[in-house]
Structure 1
Amino acid sequence: MMEKRTFLFILNPISGLKKNKKSIEQIIHKEFQAHSTIDYQIQYTQFPGHARQLAREAAAQNVSVVVAVGGDGTMNEVASSLVGTGTVLGIIPRGSGNGYARSLKIPLKAKQAIRVLQYGQVKQVDVGKINEYYFFGVAGVGFDAYIGAQFQAFGLRGPLPYFYIGVREYFRYSYEGFTLKFNGQSLHVNPLLITVANTPQYGMNATIAPQAKVDDGILELCVLNPMSVFKAAMELHHLFDGTIEKVKAYRHFSVKEVEIEREYEKGVFHTDGEPRMGPRVLKISVLPQKIKVLVPGEKLKL
């Protein structure tokens, strides 16, 4: 007799554009009630950090799979509590960007993502750490972190508000100086942004590190120098077609550790798009294959 697997679905009621979370709950019930080898529960988050708490409790109870139903922020909370445990991370992407799910080839349609949960394969992947925080896709400082903070305060979700804020703030942004220490060298930059990538993209197919692999034990340090608005508009397509390396203002370095020191004082950084206030010095490292994730298997037809 096959041993039962236990699933906990953690739903963020405010992620993404679709506010009716009852529909996804109905899909989960429909797809899982017929599986005699799976026990499952569904819980909604009620406050920031609640997903982290629920996932931590589930891992302590040896739940087989904890599923983040939401965007990259929800995924980060859930996954942060599963690092180094035997509990597997599952994802049903429901956010605005879904960068981590896209990078792992997890379908954006709920029913297809559920098939990955039911019939996919478990893959051990790397985790990034920036001071005391984990990240799973990308982290960084500069314009993208600043925009993330503005977007969070804006209230409306989705790509259009994000694009609006990005264009508006491009004219206002004050470039900071940073010193990067990595691979035995020191580099001073005044960039548009610095991204440390474990996976290729931010989300919405915006690919900042096409060379990044989630299981190679390496992070990609990406530096994008300032450009005029006209030049940025001309080069924007490279971000979305995977050819960012053709942009002259772009550089990248493969690292296992990097230290980012701000020129003056503490400021904003982000982990998987979630803005945080951090100290002047950020220490970043990779933790090889420290989390298990359900991804599409070779035989899984979607």
Structure 2
Amino acid sequence: MRKNILFVINPISGGKSKERIEQLIIDHLDHNQYDYEMAYSNAVDHARKLSKSAVHLGFDVVVAVGGDGTVNEVARGIMSINADVALGIIPFGSGNGLALHLGIPTNPRKAIETLNHNKIKVIDSAILNDVPFFNTAGVGFDAHISALFANNKKRGFSGYVKSVLKEFKKYKSQEYELTIDGEKYFRKAFMISFANSTQFGNNAQIAPLADISDGWLDVSVVKPFPAYQFPALAWRLMSGTAHHSSYVEIIKAKEIIVQRKENGAVHLDGEPRELNGQLDIKIRPASMKVLVPLTK
């Protein structure tokens, strides 16, 4: 029996054209395996609603065609029904962190062909103040950049890099009280990431030893550092050696409470939110099915 698959396409993700995606799906999806439909999101949270409707209608697979924000919305739609429905990903974002961690090709044709293998990987997810995330969440500098980047008309990696370089010298580290599985930590931090996978995106690995299926989050605390160390830390991220830096502390966790002195930006899978001072983060082991390449 063929499975029913819905492609939820974000037309603006990553600043990349989706004009050819329909024809690529027609040409490269295995039609002996799948009956397919396509839908386009047109507003914030629309991809989640489309995904949720697809689960109600009996689709077996829902594919996010977009970046990490689109993946988050589609996955949340599936999870809200708690159904036995798989998530597929065709990466079209600025970072594509979850797709890269899972080895899903960024080439659209190859990503579509990955769906044809029908290989399922069960991964963990997490929640931050009851909002699910699947790749990384965080506070501090990366959340600040996410908030600025969301309002930037120029999407894509180059726009993100420009925002980082512009804001880096102006940003001030903050004080945090962390309760990690019952133990208290007091840290002044440039940023803190709650990593389910290894990376933000673009292969920038904030938690190189993270395992998306181990039932743990990696809390990566980046301590304040002198400006001249910025290139060295950037190299650490891109080379997968951040855990060897004296400015990075990584703690395994299942439940985290973060106390901040004031409200501020938080990001979940790169999408910013303004939340109150206290953040509650928990891992949800083995809570999502994802279609991945045969090698994963």
Q: Is the 8 A contact 1:10 1:66 kept in 2?
A: yes
- C-alpha separation in 2, matches of 1:133 and 1:99: 18
More deviation, 22-31/95-104:
22-31
| 2:238 paired residue number | 240
277, 281, 288: which one pairs with 1:280?
277
Q: Shift of the alpha carbon at 1:112?
A: 0.8
Say whether 1:66 aligns with 2:62: yes
Helix, strand or coil at the partner of 1:180 = strand
- Give runs of aligned pairs for residues 73-112 of structure 1, distance below 5 A: 73-83=69-79, 84-112=82-110
Say whether 1:12 aligns with 2:28: no
| 2:255 paired residue number | 257
Q: Shift of the alpha carbon at 1:271?
A: 0.4
| 1:161 paired residue number | 159
16, 21, 37: which one pairs with 1:41?
37
Say whether 1:57 aligns with 2:53: yes
- C-alpha separation in 2, matches of 1:230 and 1:121: 45
| 2:213 paired residue number | 215
Give per-residue Cα distances to partners, 1:157-205, cap 9 Å, x unaligned: 1121111111111111122211100133111112010000000000001
**TM-score when normalising by structure 2:** 0.96
Give per-residue Cα distances to partners, 1:30-52, cap 9 Å, x unaligned: 223x6133110011111111000
Report the number of matched residues: 294
- C-alpha separation in 2, matches of 1:176 and 1:295: 38
| 1:24 paired residue number | 21
Helix, strand or coil at the partner of 1:160 = helix
Give per-residue Cα distances to partners, 1:81-102, cap 9 Å, x unaligned: 1123211000000111100000
Helix, strand or coil at the partner of 2:256 = strand
Q: Shift of the alpha carbon at 1:236?
A: 1.7
Runs of 4+ in 1 over 4 A off after TM superposition: none
| 1:200 paired residue number | 198
Structure 1 stretches of 5 or more lacking a match?
none
Give per-residue Cα distances to partners, 1:205-245, cap 9 Å, x unaligned: 10000111111111001100111221112332111000011
Q: Is the 8 A contact 2:172 2:190 kept in 1?
A: no
216, 222, 225: which one pairs with 2:223?
225
Helix, strand or coil at the partner of 2:280 = strand
288, 291, 294: which one pairs with 2:288?
291
- C-alpha separation in 1, matches of 2:284 and 2:233: 33
Q: Is the 8 A contact 1:62 1:86 kept in 2?
A: no
Q: Shift of the alpha carbon at 1:140?
A: 0.8
User: Identity of counterpart residues, as a percentage?
Assistant: 38
Structure 2 stretches of 5 or more lacking a match?
none
Say whether 1:191 aligns with 2:189: yes
- Give runs of aligned pairs for residues 104-143 of structure 1, distance below 5 A: 104-143=102-141
Q: Is the 8 A contact 2:33 2:116 kept in 1?
A: no
Helix, strand or coil at the partner of 1:215 = coil
- C-alpha separation in 1, matches of 2:233 and 2:121: 35
**TM-score when normalising by structure 1:** 0.95
Give per-residue Cα distances to partners, 1:58-92, cap 9 Å, x unaligned: 11122110000000010000001112321100000
| 1:150 paired residue number | 148
The letter for the 2-side match of 1:233 is: P
The letter for the 2-side match of 1:252 is: I
Q: Is the 8 A contact 2:218 2:251 kept in 1?
A: yes
154, 175, 178: which one pairs with 1:177?
175
The letter for the 2-side match of 1:81 is: G
Helix, strand or coil at the partner of 1:43 = strand
Q: Shift of the alpha carbon at 1:17?
A: 3.2
